Amino acid sequence: MLTIVIYLFLAIGVIFNALGSIALLRFPDVYIRLHGATKCTTFGSIFIALAVIVYGIAKGGGEYWTLSMHAAIALICLLLTNPTGAHAIARAAHKSGTLPKFAVVDKLEESRR
């Protein structure tokens, strides 16, 4: 039963990471690409890390507990750095003059006036 849960977590993670890769390739501008890739890969990585954590807890023992702890710490770091990095890339793209194709209101540009 636990093996099914681990495989399910891995499958969900791989599917979302694949969707993030497709978003990176197919979406029209940098902002939409960044949004699709960041959201999907963050969500996919959560499930892959959860699979590793469940596996480590299920196996038990010293080295498997260490594996679970390392996966949990990596997950926390990923959850902190992925959105921050995406925000920095989007802000740099905006400052370089790359305008979004489908923006209705540009609050950042309005705040500069």
Concatenated DSSP letters of 89-106: HHHHHHHTT---SS-S--
How many CB atoms neighbour CB 40 within 10 A?
20
Give yes or no for residue 103 having a pLDDT over 70.
no
How much is the average pLDDT of 16-29?
Answer: 92
For residues 87, 90, 95, 100, the Cα torsion angle rounded to the nearest 10 degrees is: -140
At 96, the amino acid letter reads S
How many CB atoms neighbour CB 110 within 10 A?
8
Give yes or no for residue 6 having a pLDDT over 80.
yes
Give yes or no for residue 113 having a pLDDT over 70.
no
The per-residue pLDDT for range 46-72, each reduced to its tens digit, is 999 999 999 999 988 888 999 999 999
How much is the average pLDDT of 2-30?
Answer: 94
Give yes or no for residue 104 having a pLDDT over 80.
no
Query: What DSSP designation does 61 have?
Result: S
pTM: 0.83
Q: Which two tokens stand for residue 32?
A: 């939409």
CA distance 113 to 102: 21
Q: Select the more confidently predicted residue: 18 or 112.
A: 18
